[in-house]
Amino acid sequence: MTKGIALRRRLVIAVMVTLLACGGYGAYTFRVDEIRVTGLRTLDARRVINTSGLKGGERLLLIRLSLVARRVARIPAVSSVTAERSFPQTVVIRVRERAPVARLGDPSNLSVDLEGRIFASPFSSLLPLVEGWRGTVNPGAALDQKSVSVLAAFAEFPQDIRRRAARIIVGPPMTLVLNDGTEIRFGYHSDLERKAAIAHAVLAAEGGREIAYVDVRSLGVPVSRRRDPPTPAPTPQPTTAPPAPAAPPTTKPAPAPTPSPA
Protein backbone atom coordinates (compact mmCIF):
# COMPACT_ATOMS: atom_id res chain seq x y z
CA MET A 1 0.00 0.00 0.00
CA THR A 2 2.75 2.39 0.94
CA LYS A 3 4.65 1.54 -2.23
CA GLY A 4 1.54 2.28 -4.35
CA ILE A 5 1.06 5.70 -2.74
CA ALA A 6 4.69 6.56 -3.25
CA LEU A 7 4.46 5.52 -6.89
CA ARG A 8 1.43 7.70 -7.48
CA ARG A 9 3.17 10.65 -5.86
CA ARG A 10 6.16 10.19 -8.11
CA LEU A 11 3.87 10.08 -11.15
CA VAL A 12 2.08 13.27 -10.12
CA ILE A 13 5.37 15.03 -9.53
CA ALA A 14 6.65 13.84 -12.89
CA VAL A 15 3.54 15.12 -14.67
CA MET A 16 3.78 18.48 -12.90
CA VAL A 17 7.44 18.83 -13.78
CA THR A 18 6.64 17.99 -17.40
CA LEU A 19 3.84 20.55 -17.54
CA LEU A 20 6.02 23.21 -15.98
CA ALA A 21 8.77 22.44 -18.42
CA CYS A 22 6.34 22.61 -21.34
CA GLY A 23 4.86 25.84 -20.00
CA GLY A 24 8.26 27.38 -19.60
CA TYR A 25 9.22 26.19 -23.05
CA GLY A 26 6.00 27.59 -24.52
CA ALA A 27 6.37 30.88 -22.69
CA TYR A 28 9.69 31.46 -24.38
CA THR A 29 8.89 29.74 -27.67
CA PHE A 30 5.42 31.04 -28.70
CA ARG A 31 5.84 34.61 -29.87
CA VAL A 32 3.36 37.01 -31.45
CA ASP A 33 3.70 36.95 -35.21
CA GLU A 34 0.18 38.14 -36.14
CA ILE A 35 -2.36 40.53 -34.59
CA ARG A 36 -5.82 40.04 -36.06
CA VAL A 37 -8.68 42.53 -35.57
CA THR A 38 -12.27 41.53 -36.33
CA GLY A 39 -15.65 43.29 -36.24
CA LEU A 40 -14.51 46.61 -37.69
CA ARG A 41 -16.86 48.72 -39.81
CA THR A 42 -15.42 52.23 -39.73
CA LEU A 43 -12.36 52.05 -37.49
CA ASP A 44 -8.89 51.51 -38.89
CA ALA A 45 -7.25 48.25 -37.81
CA ARG A 46 -3.89 49.99 -37.42
CA ARG A 47 -5.39 52.39 -34.91
CA VAL A 48 -6.79 49.50 -32.89
CA ILE A 49 -3.46 47.67 -32.91
CA ASN A 50 -1.51 50.78 -31.94
CA THR A 51 -3.92 51.49 -29.10
CA SER A 52 -3.70 47.90 -27.86
CA GLY A 53 0.02 48.26 -27.17
CA LEU A 54 0.78 44.91 -28.80
CA LYS A 55 3.97 44.46 -30.75
CA GLY A 56 5.25 41.64 -32.86
CA GLY A 57 7.72 39.28 -31.23
CA GLU A 58 6.22 39.42 -27.72
CA ARG A 59 5.91 36.16 -25.79
CA LEU A 60 2.34 35.00 -26.43
CA LEU A 61 1.76 33.44 -23.01
CA LEU A 62 2.99 36.47 -21.10
CA ILE A 63 0.60 38.97 -22.69
CA ARG A 64 -2.09 40.37 -20.35
CA LEU A 65 -5.15 40.10 -22.54
CA SER A 66 -7.37 42.02 -20.11
CA LEU A 67 -5.02 44.98 -20.33
CA VAL A 68 -5.11 44.82 -24.13
CA ALA A 69 -8.93 44.90 -24.07
CA ARG A 70 -9.04 47.83 -21.66
CA ARG A 71 -6.74 49.86 -23.86
CA VAL A 72 -8.82 49.29 -27.00
CA ALA A 73 -12.04 50.06 -25.10
CA ARG A 74 -10.76 53.63 -24.63
CA ILE A 75 -11.46 54.34 -28.31
CA PRO A 76 -14.75 56.28 -28.19
CA ALA A 77 -16.28 54.40 -31.13
CA VAL A 78 -15.75 50.99 -29.46
CA SER A 79 -18.74 49.54 -27.63
CA SER A 80 -17.11 46.31 -26.42
CA VAL A 81 -13.90 44.38 -27.02
CA THR A 82 -12.28 41.07 -26.13
CA ALA A 83 -8.75 39.77 -26.74
CA GLU A 84 -7.67 36.14 -26.95
CA ARG A 85 -4.73 33.98 -27.94
CA SER A 86 -4.78 31.78 -31.00
CA PHE A 87 -1.82 29.39 -30.89
CA PRO A 88 0.84 29.23 -31.93
CA GLN A 89 1.49 32.91 -32.75
CA THR A 90 -1.66 35.05 -33.03
CA VAL A 91 -3.59 37.50 -30.83
CA VAL A 92 -7.19 38.09 -31.93
CA ILE A 93 -8.92 41.35 -30.94
CA ARG A 94 -12.70 41.20 -31.39
CA VAL A 95 -14.33 44.64 -31.57
CA ARG A 96 -17.95 45.73 -31.61
CA GLU A 97 -18.37 49.31 -32.75
CA ARG A 98 -21.01 51.73 -31.52
CA ALA A 99 -24.05 52.26 -33.75
CA PRO A 100 -24.83 55.96 -34.31
CA VAL A 101 -28.47 57.05 -34.01
CA ALA A 102 -28.17 60.85 -34.20
CA ARG A 103 -25.63 63.56 -34.89
CA LEU A 104 -24.55 66.58 -32.92
CA GLY A 105 -24.48 70.04 -34.40
CA ASP A 106 -20.85 70.99 -33.94
CA PRO A 107 -18.42 69.49 -34.83
CA SER A 108 -20.42 68.02 -37.67
CA ASN A 109 -18.73 64.59 -37.65
CA LEU A 110 -19.73 63.72 -34.07
CA SER A 111 -22.52 61.21 -33.48
CA VAL A 112 -24.16 59.61 -30.47
CA ASP A 113 -25.36 56.05 -29.83
CA LEU A 114 -28.21 54.69 -27.71
CA GLU A 115 -26.04 54.85 -24.60
CA GLY A 116 -25.49 58.55 -25.17
CA ARG A 117 -21.79 58.16 -25.95
CA ILE A 118 -20.26 60.71 -28.30
CA PHE A 119 -17.89 59.54 -31.04
CA ALA A 120 -16.85 60.43 -34.57
CA SER A 121 -18.72 58.66 -37.35
CA PRO A 122 -18.47 58.95 -41.14
CA PHE A 123 -22.25 58.46 -41.32
CA SER A 124 -23.14 61.49 -39.19
CA SER A 125 -24.41 63.56 -42.13
CA LEU A 126 -27.09 60.93 -42.80
CA LEU A 127 -28.51 61.06 -39.27
CA PRO A 128 -31.09 63.35 -37.65
CA LEU A 129 -29.76 66.26 -35.63
CA VAL A 130 -30.37 66.10 -31.87
CA GLU A 131 -30.95 69.46 -30.20
CA GLY A 132 -31.38 70.55 -26.60
CA TRP A 133 -29.01 67.97 -25.10
CA ARG A 134 -26.60 68.69 -22.29
CA GLY A 135 -23.04 67.55 -21.93
CA THR A 136 -19.50 68.12 -23.17
CA VAL A 137 -18.76 68.03 -26.88
CA ASN A 138 -15.87 65.58 -26.59
CA PRO A 139 -15.51 62.10 -28.07
CA GLY A 140 -15.99 59.59 -25.27
CA ALA A 141 -18.23 61.92 -23.21
CA ALA A 142 -21.91 61.18 -22.59
CA LEU A 143 -25.15 63.08 -23.00
CA ASP A 144 -27.48 63.80 -20.11
CA GLN A 145 -29.87 61.06 -19.01
CA LYS A 146 -32.95 62.87 -20.34
CA SER A 147 -31.48 62.96 -23.85
CA VAL A 148 -30.48 59.30 -23.59
CA SER A 149 -34.06 58.31 -22.71
CA VAL A 150 -35.39 60.28 -25.69
CA LEU A 151 -32.93 58.59 -28.06
CA ALA A 152 -33.83 55.17 -26.66
CA ALA A 153 -37.50 55.88 -27.36
CA PHE A 154 -36.69 57.24 -30.83
CA ALA A 155 -35.04 53.91 -31.70
CA GLU A 156 -38.44 52.24 -31.13
CA PHE A 157 -40.43 54.66 -33.31
CA PRO A 158 -42.01 53.36 -36.55
CA GLN A 159 -39.38 52.92 -39.22
CA ASP A 160 -41.00 55.42 -41.58
CA ILE A 161 -40.86 58.17 -38.95
CA ARG A 162 -37.23 57.38 -38.09
CA ARG A 163 -36.32 57.40 -41.77
CA ARG A 164 -37.94 60.82 -42.30
CA ALA A 165 -36.65 62.43 -39.10
CA ALA A 166 -34.48 65.52 -39.59
CA ARG A 167 -34.33 67.01 -36.06
CA ILE A 168 -34.91 65.61 -32.57
CA ILE A 169 -35.62 68.41 -30.12
CA VAL A 170 -35.22 66.92 -26.63
CA GLY A 171 -37.22 69.51 -24.70
CA PRO A 172 -39.52 69.18 -22.92
CA PRO A 173 -41.64 69.75 -24.82
CA MET A 174 -40.16 67.16 -27.15
CA THR A 175 -40.63 67.77 -30.86
CA LEU A 176 -39.64 65.72 -33.87
CA VAL A 177 -39.23 67.58 -37.16
CA LEU A 178 -39.48 65.53 -40.33
CA ASN A 179 -37.50 66.23 -43.48
CA ASP A 180 -40.51 67.92 -45.12
CA GLY A 181 -40.92 70.34 -42.19
CA THR A 182 -43.80 68.49 -40.50
CA GLU A 183 -43.64 68.72 -36.70
CA ILE A 184 -44.68 65.92 -34.35
CA ARG A 185 -45.34 67.48 -30.96
CA PHE A 186 -44.88 64.98 -28.12
CA GLY A 187 -44.96 67.24 -25.09
CA TYR A 188 -43.59 65.60 -21.95
CA HIS A 189 -41.30 62.56 -22.04
CA SER A 190 -43.97 59.97 -21.34
CA ASP A 191 -45.40 57.24 -23.60
CA LEU A 192 -43.18 58.44 -26.44
CA GLU A 193 -43.43 55.16 -28.36
CA ARG A 194 -47.24 55.17 -28.20
CA LYS A 195 -47.38 58.80 -29.23
CA ALA A 196 -45.10 58.07 -32.21
CA ALA A 197 -47.35 55.20 -33.29
CA ILE A 198 -50.42 57.47 -33.13
CA ALA A 199 -48.64 60.19 -35.10
CA HIS A 200 -47.65 57.63 -37.71
CA ALA A 201 -51.29 56.55 -38.07
CA VAL A 202 -52.43 60.16 -38.46
CA LEU A 203 -49.85 60.84 -41.16
CA ALA A 204 -50.85 57.66 -42.98
CA ALA A 205 -54.53 58.66 -42.85
CA GLU A 206 -53.69 62.01 -44.43
CA GLY A 207 -52.54 60.15 -47.50
CA GLY A 208 -49.52 62.25 -48.37
CA ARG A 209 -51.15 65.64 -47.86
CA GLU A 210 -48.89 68.40 -46.61
CA ILE A 211 -49.19 68.55 -42.81
CA ALA A 212 -47.94 71.44 -40.70
CA TYR A 213 -47.96 69.47 -37.44
CA VAL A 214 -49.36 66.49 -35.58
CA ASP A 215 -49.97 67.11 -31.88
CA VAL A 216 -50.01 63.92 -29.81
CA ARG A 217 -49.56 65.45 -26.39
CA SER A 218 -52.97 63.99 -25.52
CA LEU A 219 -53.03 60.30 -26.45
CA GLY A 220 -56.79 60.20 -26.78
CA VAL A 221 -57.19 63.35 -28.86
CA PRO A 222 -54.47 63.73 -31.48
CA VAL A 223 -54.68 66.96 -33.46
CA SER A 224 -53.26 67.67 -36.89
CA ARG A 225 -53.27 70.67 -39.14
CA ARG A 226 -52.71 70.79 -42.83
CA ARG A 227 -50.27 73.23 -44.22
CA ASP A 228 -51.83 76.38 -45.62
CA PRO A 229 -51.62 76.58 -49.41
CA PRO A 230 -49.09 79.11 -50.60
CA THR A 231 -50.45 82.55 -51.34
CA PRO A 232 -50.34 83.12 -55.08
CA ALA A 233 -48.09 85.88 -56.20
CA PRO A 234 -49.95 88.99 -57.41
CA THR A 235 -50.45 89.10 -61.14
CA PRO A 236 -48.45 91.98 -62.56
CA GLN A 237 -50.58 94.54 -64.32
CA PRO A 238 -49.71 95.18 -67.94
CA THR A 239 -47.82 98.36 -68.35
CA THR A 240 -48.79 100.76 -71.16
CA ALA A 241 -46.41 103.24 -72.63
CA PRO A 242 -47.40 106.87 -72.08
CA PRO A 243 -48.87 108.50 -75.16
CA ALA A 244 -46.38 110.23 -77.36
CA PRO A 245 -46.60 114.05 -77.21
CA ALA A 246 -48.62 115.56 -80.02
CA ALA A 247 -46.61 117.01 -82.85
CA PRO A 248 -46.78 120.82 -83.05
CA PRO A 249 -49.09 122.05 -85.82
CA THR A 250 -47.38 122.84 -89.06
CA THR A 251 -48.21 126.04 -90.93
CA LYS A 252 -47.57 126.60 -94.60
CA PRO A 253 -45.95 129.89 -95.52
CA ALA A 254 -48.27 132.30 -97.29
CA PRO A 255 -47.64 132.45 -101.03
CA ALA A 256 -45.66 135.45 -102.18
CA PRO A 257 -47.81 138.18 -103.85
CA THR A 258 -47.74 138.15 -107.59
CA PRO A 259 -46.40 141.46 -108.92
CA SER A 260 -48.90 143.35 -111.10
CA PRO A 261 -47.86 144.43 -114.61
CA ALA A 262 -46.72 148.04 -114.90
Residue 8 clears pLDDT 60, i.e. is over it: yes
> pTM higher than 0.85 for the full model?
no
* For range 174-201, the mean pLDDT: 96
Backbone angles phi and psi of 178, in degrees to 5? -85, 170
Number of helices and strands (H, E) in the chain?
A: 6, 12
Give the pLDDT score at 62: 93
* Residue 262: pLDDT band with limits 50, 70, 90: very low
Give the pLDDT score at 250: 57
CA–chain centroid gap for 115, Å, is 12
- Residue 224's DSSP bridge partners are 214
Give the domains, in start order, of the chain with CATH numbers. 26-97 (3.10.20.310), 102-226 (3.40.50.10960)
Contact present, 72 and 51 (Cβ < 8 Å): yes
Question: How far apart are alpha carbons 69 and 84 in whole angstroms?
Answer: 9
SS3 90: strand
Residue 172 clears pLDDT 50, i.e. is over it: yes
* Residue 251: pLDDT band with limits 50, 70, 90: low
Give the pLDDT score at 13: 56
Question: How far apart are alpha carbons 96 and 40 in whole angstroms?
Answer: 7
Give the pLDDT score at 94: 98
* Residue 241: pLDDT band with limits 50, 70, 90: low
- Give the pLDDT confidence of 15-58 residue by residue, as tens digits: 554 544 445 554 556 899 999 999 999 999 999 999 999 998 89
Q: Where are the alpha helices (DSSP H) in the chain?
A: 2-29, 45-52, 65-73, 145-154, 159-164, 192-205
* For range 210-223, the mean pLDDT: 93
Rounded to the nearest integer, the mean pLDDT of the chain is 85
| Residues in CB range of 259: below 8 A, 6 or more apart | none
Instruction: Count Cβ atoms below 10 Å from residue 134 Cβ, excluding itself.
Output: 10
